[in-house]
Amino acid sequence: MHPLEGVRVVELAHVAAGPFAGMLLADLGADVIKVEPPTGDQMRGWPPFATSADGGERFSHNFASVNRNKRSVVADLKDPDDLARVRELIGSADVVVENYRPGVLDRLGLGYDEVSDGHAGLVYCSISGYGLTSPHVNDGAYDVVIQGMSGLMSVTGEPDGGPVKAGVPVGDFTAGLYAAYTVAALLPQVGRTGESVRLDVPMLDCLLGISALQTSEYWGTGREPARLGTAHPRNAPYQGFSAADGDFTVAAGNDRLWAAVAEVVGLAELVDDPRFVTQPDRVAHQGELAALLQDRFGEEKREHWLTELRSRGVPCGPVNTVGEALADPHVEATGLVARVPMPVAGEVAQVVFPVRIEGQSPRLDRGAPSLGADADVYAEWAAS
């Protein structure tokens, strides 16, 4: 038994934030029905593709990565018959996850007020850029826009550089995490009381929610947090460096670790240097400190420094490419990557649900579904 086995979810979502939330619920055992327009979730059109030998079929790896363990039905929400069937699905569901622009589903008769009326208990989760009460409620929002508005770009990148987007779409995926977490937390309450609940999950608010160190710095000092590259506003040395053959990071977050770093690079005298005696001293002079360390780090290969630092308990690690990260022995040891079925391609590697639950394996009984592959769901749910 997976934790959410028996929970029924209707996913009216596309691209990233909503589908990621739906997949997390599916990974935990929920029966997630993805309702797609006749053209499919637009992410089905995102490369890279697996292509059949004759070139007649293709399937998106991007789509597969956020839609495993689900079933798919097709519905044209402007068609009265299809709309009625979707409403019947929702009537049998425990959860709705949607990320349409606010107001769209209300106009179609699938809004919270309408579908919760008379329902035995529904968690209705709406993910959007700004939420339902924002003055920006009618504005379109994509991850890059939210990263910019949240202040994330103002603290990402080099000090003398321009705004930099995080390479991972953190706006989408953070909202998806908050959504799935809150849905799971509310299910016992809704099941116990029979009272439906609406969740309003704004991407902008979720990014600000994980920016606790930056917002507290701003309120505590009155100063805007700045771009520091890989450096840290309160610890040093705590950043990236370049060895003779590659980059690595060092996180010496206290005096003992700093002394170990100084010993490794043969500069033990720096421990008593007035510029570097305390952690605040090192932060105040971290540019000078980083330059001194970099001169030494550039003289040897990365593995030499990692070995020496680790032997003294200093947290450090390579700056990996994605391929190098996936090849790390950690990934195999933790079972993070597994083969998952995918249309056209057969079994493909995916990063599975990353939290290990004692006595359970990650749910992998379904890969991402082909468009409309599960039309029998309508009759199945209606009969039970």
Kindly list the catalytic residues. 172
Instruction: Give just the sign of the alpha carbon dihedral 122, 5, 12, 380.
Output: negative
Distance separating alpha carbons of residues 242 and 296, to the nearest angstrom: 10
Got the DSSP string for 214-260?
Answer: HHHHHHHHSS-----TT--SS-SSEEEEE-SS-EEEEE--SHHHHHH
Structure token pair of residue 37: 């327009």
Would you say 25 and 62 are in contact if contact means Cβ atoms under 8 Å apart? Answer: no
Would you say 225 and 154 are in contact if contact means Cβ atoms under 8 Å apart? Answer: yes
C-alpha Rg value of the chain to the nearest Å: 25
Distance separating alpha carbons of residues 28 and 12, to the nearest angstrom: 19
Would you say 6 and 46 are in contact if contact means Cβ atoms under 8 Å apart? Answer: no
Cis peptide before 237 (omega within 30 of 0): yes
DSSP 172: H
Instruction: Using DSSP, state whether 75 is helix, strand or coil.
Output: coil
Instruction: Using DSSP, state whether 37 is helix, strand or coil.
Output: coil
Would you say 33 and 89 are in contact if contact means Cβ atoms under 8 Å apart? Answer: yes
Nearest alpha carbon to residue 13 among 194, 201, 157: 201
Count of CA atoms in the C-beta half-sphere (13 A) of 292: 21
Structure token pair of residue 332: 């195999």
Distance separating alpha carbons of residues 259 and 239, to the nearest angstrom: 16
CB contact set of 277 (below 8 Å; sequence gap of 6+): 271
